[in-house]
């Protein structure tokens, strides 16, 4: 595994070890020792996945303290534009980064506490997997509205859940991070 790019401070685009032969491919998405050597410290407490149709935007999600979490995300089928929004107090507050994740490139993004996460599905179906350092706590579930921080998603008619439409706009958010 190697770091391809630091997207935001402590938020990394990763290339995992991938093995390809006549049968297909094998990708190791997590190895504690390799990740720690890169400065990607993640103690996995929960794993889940989502399946999205083309033009779906999910986000921008995070958990508030004391249940905030680090997250490792990747797309195993289809492709997404993965977006990160820095909510940590300081000079990076409000900065945005993004990367394309796909089953083809096998890239992963490590997202530390204090960064909101979302994505836009670019293909007819996109399968996203998430590993988190805490178990989901509904009382700490939070988000920033997808269209409130100046990012161009590149989708004329996005499909957005009612929940994601009701998140706070960035300008009204008071960060606990």
Catalytic residues: 61, 130
For tokens 């195993």, name the residue: 76
Distance CA 174, CA 99 (A): 26
Instruction: Decide: helix, strand or coil at residue 170.
Output: helix
Q: Which of 126, 161, 167 is closest to 149 using CA atoms?
A: 167
Q: Which of 119, 98, 80 is closest to 7 using CA atoms?
A: 98
Q: Which of 23, 53, 177, 42 is closest to 108 using CA atoms?
A: 42
């Amino acid at each position: 595994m190697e770091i391809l790019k630091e997207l935001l401070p402590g938020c990394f685009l990763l290339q995992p070890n991938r093995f390809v032969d006549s049968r297909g491919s094998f990708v190791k998405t997590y190895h504690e020792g390799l990740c720690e050597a890169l400065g990607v410290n993640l103690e996995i407490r929960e794993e889940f996945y989502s399946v999205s149709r083309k033009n779906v935007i999910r986000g921008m999600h995070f958990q508030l303290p004391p249940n905030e979490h680090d997250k490792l995300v990747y797309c195993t089928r289809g492709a997404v534009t993965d977006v990160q929004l820095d909510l940590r107090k300081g000079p990076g507050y409000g900065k945005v980064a993004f990367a394309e994740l796909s089953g083809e490139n096998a890239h992963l993004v490590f997202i530390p506490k204090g960064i909101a996460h979302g994505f836009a599905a670019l293909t007819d179906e996109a399968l996203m997997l998430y590993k988190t350092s805490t178990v989901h706590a509904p009382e700490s579930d939070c988000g920033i509205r997808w269209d409130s921080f100046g990012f161009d998603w590149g989708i004329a008619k996005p499909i957005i859940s009612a929940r994601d439409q009701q998140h706070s706009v960035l300008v009204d958010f008071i960060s606990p991070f």
